[in-house]
Chains A and B, each alone.
Chain A
Amino acid sequence: MSTIVETHDDHGHHGPAKGLTRWLFTTNHKDIGTLYLWFSFLMLFIGGAMAMVIRAELFEPGLQIIEPEFFNQMTTNHGLIMVFGVIMPAFVGLANWMIPMQIGAPDMALPRLNNLSFWLLPMAFGILISTLFMEAGGPNFGWTFYAPLSTTYAPETVTFFIFSVHIMGASSILGSINIITTILNMRAPGMTLMKMPLFVWSWLITAYLLIAVMPVLAGAVTMMLMDIHFGTSFFNAAGGGDPVLFQHIFWFFGHPEVYIMILPAFGIASHIIETFSRKPLFGYTSMVYALTSIAILSFVVWAHHMFTVGMPLAGELFFMYSTMLIAIPTGVKVFNWIATMFKGSISFETPMLFAIAFVALFTIGGFSGLMLAIVPADFQYHDTYFVVAHFHYVLVPGSLFGIIAGVYYWIPKWTGIMYDEILGKLHFWLSFISVNLTFFPMHFVGLAGMPRRYPDYALQFADFNAIISVGAFIFGLTQLLFLFIVIKSIRAGKKANSEVWEGAGELGLEWTLDSPPSYHTFTVQPQVK
């Protein structure tokens, strides 16, 4: 009799496989989420190291450490790795961990596909990074890889780059299919669409954006491949093509991509602000509509990246107006977050600090975005450090702080151990100060006329560049502290209960599970009222 019970137990609560095979062959959403997050963390340090090389070279005028050729490889790979290797996989990792737990599903809908979409990523980035060690050098044409610099004039390794982008795209598309299928089919009974947690909503919309635009990116790199190896002239005027066509295709992908990198952070911030304000999220419905509007508008604003390519007046005006419209739903989101804090009972644990910084600093990035939308003014801003300041404000204290906030918020749930609050706060304050020290002066040097992607610059920019580099080094080093905090909260520390945060038990299904949750959760669907 007892043997039968044991067998039953084994069957019901079986844990992960042992050793390397657990990670290679896993179909478990939690394991795959962990893989994604560690992969993204590793890439953060690789892409971050490249940023350190860039900032070291820019510390003072003149060429000291590296030559322009390698500098261009650094800026290009820093961008590609941070976009495709850090922000996107980190959000997919959070989605893998949290979506099934937030909607009361036992796992993702397509677990084997899930394994494939992760393991494609190390392949893609292995190929990309290996080009840096090849004789011709890695991609050096900027992360936006404008033709013909990336086709006719590219180093021979561009073919590896194209292949690598294809694999990244495949990984993203497969991941998105999985997320959409999971959200639409596996919600617990009673969880209607308008009762879904906002992180789930933000990911549902993000996944649709990914499915819509990753094939466009694949199209762009395929056309490059044809131009380079098969004698076509898509982007070559001498053969009847048009280099600007590349930019239209790229940004038709690229602008929704920008929102792909921020929408899930909106979801995370909503949860955190609601939790630590101890007050329900203000304007849930308008939050969902705002997310949807941003996603739809993202398809009709792409040419605001190209105001200087020579567009007709009607085109300039259209893209200026449509871009300005985005400020409305984005503003609504910020107002809703503030209204959530208003009359709350607010405490300032690390995730909340990062979430508050996210709202404030993302808004600053939003202001500079609005300024950049104004076409005549953009003639002066375009391709200067003002643009670099803008997108780093929305991507670092925006997306990256959103991710870090999410990790602090959910890590006690994942590991069952509370992170070190003192170290967490230290991490926050060091990051907050250094991120502003790094990126705020970039507004000034940009307005004063320093173009981006310059390995060397005129003397009047020297003081600010030195400050920026110091800020960047501090920010870079601070993230090692984050690594330490994460490892510490996996290994040992104060145990977390299932609710983790005061009152969170009522906020979402994930807080009804044990901390850490068992290897398989919600094998019986919960009821949502």
Chain B
Amino acid sequence: MELFKFFFHRLLVVFLGLIPFSLFADWDLNMTRGVTETSLEIFNLHMLIFWICVWIGVVVFGIMFWSLFKYRKSSGAVAAKFDDNFWLEIGWTVAATLILVVMAIPSTQVLVKAYDDSEGEINIMVTGYQWKWQYKYLEDNVAFFSNLATDDEAIHNRIPKGELYLREVDEPLVIPINTKIRFLITGNDVIHSFWVPDFAVKQDAVPGFINTAWTNVPKPGIYRGNCTELCGINHAFMPVVVRAVEKEEYTAWVAEKIALAEVEKLLTEKEWTKEELIERGEKVYTKNCVACHQVNGKGIPPVFPALDGSNIVMSDTSRQIEILMEGVGPSYAMQAFGKQLGEVDIASVITYTKNAWSNKEKGDGKEVTPKDIVEYKKRIKL
């Protein structure tokens, strides 16, 4: 018995003392602690359940491996004959039930507290697209898309991978700290899932339905997450990046976004040269089109057709405008970019594709101006 106690204490020391979790922190072994109250509560709950499971494991496996050792036939063990014990059965059933009750109480408390779909001080509509996120600030009428910023060349191992490989976007979601933010989450095409581990927010983005989640971030920082529901080819390539800033900085950022939107509107009126359109178009193309149509315009047939050498791109301008504005669906995944991009971007990206790759020599090389898109919009409305 003394020996047993000794080993038991040793075991305790090994489990609690020699393997403290702080040791694992740098190894990325455990759940993200996160920064919000909810994420910390969930982390603590997770650790509680984990240690309960570890101790059940220690006891159960302890008895099992001790029995396997003690009653091995090679040591001359003779089998007993008993095959049932009513009170033992009742006993461990009750014990298991009690342990579950102990687990259920804190779980319920954390869940009830985290569950809240009431309005936030700032309400942001999060829409999952194949394969990017759109953030729309409902109070301020600011909206933009957030695309993966990792170079395709890095993904295909032709250039070295940066520290933020697959965790960087061109434009992060910006939120103020110490403010209750409510996310209204939906999907545009298939189901996506919006996950920021540091906030313990994970909510599916279901097309046609709006889910809610909320957070209140106490300290500034950049928080990175992912899409966690299989959404097609580029499921792994639509990260979530959130920049939490001081309230004043947030207000300034919103004002700047609104001012930029005004400038963008004016650009539509401007007279564009072909070179300007091509230059801007290349940027638009890189941001929005390469995921499917590839940098070289070859696409991934049969799902994503090639633009290089395409008859529509080379000589059927009106059809190309129509495809960009309305999309081709659903068996081809071409989205309706009329809802996503401004007139200038649509016009410039079309001009770019007509003047890039081999299309430059083979096609009509025409240019499409923002005004053509404005006219198209007018015509469709009639």
Contacts and interface: CB of A to CB of B under 8 A. Distances in A.
Interface of A: 61-64, 67-69, 72, 135-136, 140-142, 146, 148-149, 152-153, 155-156, 236-238, 242-244, 277-286, 308-310, 313, 316-317, 320-321, 324-325, 327-328, 331-332, 334-335, 338-339, 341-348, 356, 359-360, 363-364, 367, 370-371, 374-377, 379-384, 444-445, 447-449, 451-461
Instruction: Sort A-B residue pairs by CB-CB distance and give the 8 closest, nearest first.
Output: A237-B208, A310-B211, A280-B83, A454-B236, A448-B28, A383-B228, A343-B80, A367-B53
Interface stretch (B155-163, B319-327, B337-345): B155-163
B73 to A, nearest CB: 4
Contact of B68 (A62, A72, A313, A346): A346
A310 B193 CA distance: 11
A141 B230 contact: yes
A48 to B, nearest CB: 22
Interface of B: 27-32, 38, 41-42, 45-46, 49-50, 53, 56-57, 60-61, 63-64, 67-68, 71-74, 77-85, 88-89, 92-93, 96-97, 100, 103-104, 107-108, 110-112, 114-115, 130, 154-157, 161, 163-167, 189-191, 193, 195, 197, 200-204, 206-209, 211-212, 225-237, 300, 302-303, 329-331, 333
B111 A317 contact: yes
Contact of A153 (B46, B161, B195, B232): B232
A324 B104 contact: yes
B45 A374 contact: yes
A344 B64 CA distance: 12
Contact of B81 (A141, A238, A280): A280
A219 to B, nearest CB: 20
A331 B96 contact: yes
A331 B93 CA distance: 8
Contact of A62 (B157, B189, B230): B157
A76 to B, nearest CB: 9
B233 A243 contact: no
A444 B28 contact: yes
B32 to A, nearest CB: 6
B80 A341 contact: no
A148 B32 contact: no
Given A61-B165, A63-B155, A343 B79 contact: yes
16 contacts: A68-B233, A72-B232, A149-B191, A310-B211, A320-B104, A320-B108, A321-B104, A335-B92, A338-B63, A339-B85, A342-B67, A363-B60, A367-B56, A371-B50, A382-B228, A448-B28
Contacts of B108: 317, 320
A457 B167 CA distance: 9
B161 A344 contact: no
B200 A380 contact: yes
Contact of A325 (B100, B156, B226): B100
B230 A72 contact: yes
Contacts of B166: 61, 456-458
A238 B208 contact: yes
A449 B198 CA distance: 10
B71 A63 contact: no
Given A344-B77, A367-B53, A360 B71 contact: no
B111 A320 contact: yes
A443 B351 CA distance: 49
A331 B59 CA distance: 13
A447 B42 CA distance: 12
A346 B73 contact: yes
B356 to A, nearest CB: 23
